[in-house]
Structure 1
Amino acid sequence: MIQLHCTQKLYAKLPVNTQGRLPNTRARPVAANDPAESLLSGWHANLVTLQRRNCVLFVHSATRFPVLLTCLTKPDFAELDYHFQDGLMNTLLKAGANQAQLDAAANALTPLHCDTQCNRSVQGTLNHMKQDLDHLLWYDQLPITDLAPYSASAWLAERPCMAKGVKGCIWPVRAMLALLDSANQSPHLPASDV
């Protein structure tokens, strides 16, 4: 499972069940019943309003890698699993991930498990990225409907981020690609006989 820590504002819009799962109608069903944490687990998300449109900004806790979803409607919140998976894979593609890294990400995709536990350091990164998006839209005089969310996410991922307890800064693209490379380097255990 991929743990998603939502702000209260976003969580109120999600049609989650008592276990914190979304309906998952179009999302990739691989390992849907696997309770283990995925390599990609540990995301924070916030519902942000850009030019009066609902958008969701995701940030990976360890790498600070962002995924932006824009112009969401009520039915889109029920399909958040699908939109997140699509946004992540396309942002990785825009950020220059190679095929092995894309395969590692695709293999680690599992349904989201939502809760409202948040880390203030990651929320600070979310707020900073939202301000960067506001500035981008204002400076380029760009309507939110014309913003390419995958390219905007890759643009945000090229900016250094500070994190509590980390010396120096984190470069989100480098950190995420290194995480995906670590999945490719780990030894594969043989499957047990069933």
Structure 2
Amino acid sequence: MLIQCTKSLLDQLGIKNSELYSPEGHEQFPNSFMAWHANIATIDRKKAIVLMNNETRYSIVIYRPSKKDYSKINELIREAISTALRMEGVRKEVIEAYMETAGEITFSKTASRSMVAKMNNAVREIEFMQEYLDEKIRIQRYISIITGRFIQLSGNDPGFYPIEKMLKCLSLILGQEDHEIVEDVLEIELYQLKININLKGHEIWRRVLVPSTYSFRHLHNIIQTVFDWHNAHLHEFVVEREDRKDLKIVMDDDPETMEYLDFDAFEIRQERFVGLEEIFTTYGEVVYEYDFGDSWEHTITLEKVVKSNEFRATFVEGIGERPPEDVGGEGGYEEYLRIIADANHPEHEDMNTWADNQKERNISQEKINHRLKQVIKGYHYSYFL
């Protein structure tokens, strides 16, 4: 495996010119797939080693490396690539085959201005999504999932997504003649979750399949999508634990949000850095609260684990229409239902008009699943379906 480094990174690693290999011969597939360009960049005033695969332009980040990390860079690079691919659901055997085929890590200078420009673009994409960089860990787990789905352009060639190209190239490791076939590359562990809105006297729930490596930020986006919530209010997840204090998984680290958290009563973590597999392997139930004013509490229950070769969330089924946004909590919802049911009520017409933009829309299962394809990048309520 050839790591083609910028001068600044070579200096940091203490690699001399006499120790460098020639970069020639890694411009075309398959050798290009076994080579990565690497740079040390400053992102939000913190150092980061950015790796970009020559062939697929898939990028990986080693964040805030220490002096000790530089001394074991070979091991760290292998671990970073393996971690990123595992998060994408790539089978362990495929990752091992890629590492074996790529061989021992060697270093060289960067190949060309064109490749350096592509690497600089990868750094800019990471900077754009830097909120997904976790300061507490070296090898970043969630930034690659996002940047791997940014379209890449090169001259007159049609655009492509790094993750799609990565999977097609990995399929060759299995000896597939047609590298459009990627099913054998992936083995996804899906959690079947039932999400129930806790409203006495009402049955309102959705059942979804979600990759275990998704984060709780992804799960928030999924819940907003399948219930057609507006994503206009604060939210949080709570995990009840008998052996230690409960875990509260919050939406961000904004000072206004953190100011009201009880650090004595809860362990606090940020949702974009907590994987579902970290929680549901131990705790089968999580509570999600949306809109602290109306306080819509959802109980999320792990029903079973299934295998798949598709890395995406899927809406399976559901029952019941959710309450309208900003209806005033459980009491306001009951009042809303009473007025809507009484055509003679003096507020009936006004309530119907108000509810048009607040209640859940009747969206087909096909449309919901189409919308779920976007939850990796985020969720924004749209009035246009």
TM-score strictly above 0.5: yes
Cα distance change of structure 1 residues 168 and 12 upon mapping to structure 2, 3 Å threshold: same
Gaps of 5+ in 2: 22-29, 178-385
Alignment match of 2:161 (pick from 171, 182, 192): 171
Q: Structure 1 residues 108-117 or 173-182, which shifts more?
A: 108-117
Kindly provide the CA deviation profile for residues 4-44 of structure 1, in whole angstroms up to 9, marking residues without a partner as x. 111111111113363338xxxxxxxxxxxxxxx97842211
How far apart are the structure 2 equivalents of 1:132 and 1:120? Answer: 18
How far apart are the structure 1 equivalents of 2:90 and 2:69? Answer: 27
1:98 equivalenced with 2:88 (yes/no): no
Moved over 6 A (4+): none
CA contact under 8 A between 1:55 and 1:72: conserved in structure 2?
A: yes
Equivalent residue for 2:148? 157
1:51 equivalenced with 2:44 (yes/no): yes
How far apart are the structure 2 equivalents of 1:184 and 1:39? Answer: 18
CA contact under 8 A between 1:38 and 1:108: conserved in structure 2?
A: no
Q: Structure 1 residues 99-108 or 2-11, which shifts more?
A: 99-108
How far apart are the structure 1 equivalents of 2:38 and 2:142? Answer: 18
Cα distance change of structure 1 residues 43 and 143 upon mapping to structure 2, 3 Å threshold: closer
1:128 equivalenced with 2:118 (yes/no): no
How far apart are the structure 2 equivalents of 1:146 and 1:158? Answer: 24
CA contact under 8 A between 1:64 and 1:170: conserved in structure 2?
A: no
Query: Pairwise mapping of residues 109-148 of structure 1 onto structure 2 (< 5 A)?
Result: 109-137=102-130, 140=131, 145=135
Query: Pairwise mapping of residues 18-33 of structure 1 onto structure 2 (< 5 A)?
Result: 18-20=18-20
How far apart are the structure 2 equivalents of 1:12 and 1:107? Answer: 28
TM-score (norm 1): 0.74
Which SS does the other structure have where 1:4 is aligned?
strand
Aligned length: 167
Cα distance change of structure 1 residues 62 and 87 upon mapping to structure 2, 3 Å threshold: same
Gaps of 5+ in 1: 22-36, 188-194
1:172 corresponds to which letter in structure 2?
P
Equivalent residue for 2:173? 183
Higher relative contact order (CA 8 A, sep 6+): 1
TM-score (norm 2): 0.39
Structure 1 residue 126, shift from structure 2 partner: 1.9
Cα distance change of structure 1 residues 143 and 86 upon mapping to structure 2, 3 Å threshold: closer
| Percentage of pairs with the same residue | 15
Equivalent residue for 2:75? 82
Q: Structure 1 residues 121-130 or 152-161, which shifts more?
A: 121-130
Instruction: Report which of the two has the higher share of strand.
Output: 2
CA contact under 8 A between 1:85 and 1:109: conserved in structure 2?
A: no
Instruction: Report which of the two has the higher share of helix.
Output: 1
Larger Rg: 2
How far apart are the structure 1 equivalents of 2:99 and 2:3? Answer: 17
